[in-house]
Amino acid sequence: MKTLTPQELNYEAFRCELRVLPDATEKNYKEKLENIATLPNNEQREVALALLQDKTQDKRQRFERAMQIWAHLGDSTSLFYLATAYFLLKDEENGIKYLKISAKEGNLQAQLHLGYCTLMGVGTKPDLKKACLIFKKLSQEKIPEAVYFVGALYMLDEDFVQKDPVKARKMLLWSVEHGCKFALFEHGITLIKKPETKKKGLDLIYQAAKKQEVRAMMWLAIESARGTIIPQNYADSKMYLEKCCYLGFRPAITAVKEAQNNSNEG
């Protein structure tokens, strides 16, 4: 398996963010789905989210129905969900289309994701400077992920940003304290290296995984299988690996394919 550089691994993780939807909280969505037109818009939106995430249902049908509901509602959050569903279906053209509409209507999460797209070159040319401007604007709104990216940019030596390691560290620690999944994972990995901070580091990694940070989930998948740093648990390893694959995390997909090939050869 080709080993990715740290930057390539990070970019794979940021790309997966375009496919992350919040976990559905609506438990009785099937009953509500039958009379969905009578529900308030916010409930309709959440029923559609629960439907899309119900893997016991046919994938094509649940995606079509959920996306139809969000398109009909047309509010900025629904359009953000719609864009995310298109990214899950690997339709980046429509994903970008609805992401831009949602962002234009003021959805901060959509604006953040457009920053990811600009950084990675999804639907456009990669433009670090333009991405920096997007993240700086959103950092003023105290969006933890945006603060994280601005902090990371202050670690770079670019002509459009003055390097400032002290400011960078302050912003990165703030993003950890305020729940940025990327910062939680990266800081957690640093902390587990020392016995006295290992417990806190593991807690941060689990927090990141709960927020669907693919690097955290992949790390837990590997370590759950090994049983060296955390207790061995093959069920957890499988669960985290499946979640990574669902979000299209390339290292996870490659690992599964290689395991299947080795099994077939054996």
Look at residue 41 in the predicted model and tell me its pLDDT: 96
Q: pLDDT tens across 97-144, in order?
A: 999 999 999 999 999 999 999 999 998 899 999 999 999 999 999 999
Distance between CA atoms of residues 58 and 45, nearest Å:
19
pTM > 0.75? yes
Residues 254, 153: Cα–Cα separation, whole Å: 30
Q: CATH topology for 1-114?
A: 1.25.40
Which pLDDT belongs to residue 6? 82
| Residue 55 CB coordination number (10 Å) | 10
pLDDT at residue 124, rounded to an integer: 87
Name the DSSP class of 161: B
Can you give the pLDDT at residue 158?
A: 74
**Among residues 188, 191, 195, which one has the least CA distance to residue 217?**
188
User: DSSP character for 238?
Assistant: H
Give pLDDT, residue 265: 61
CA 180 to chain CA centroid, nearest Å: 11
Low-confidence ranges of the chain (pLDDT < 70): 1-2, 262-266
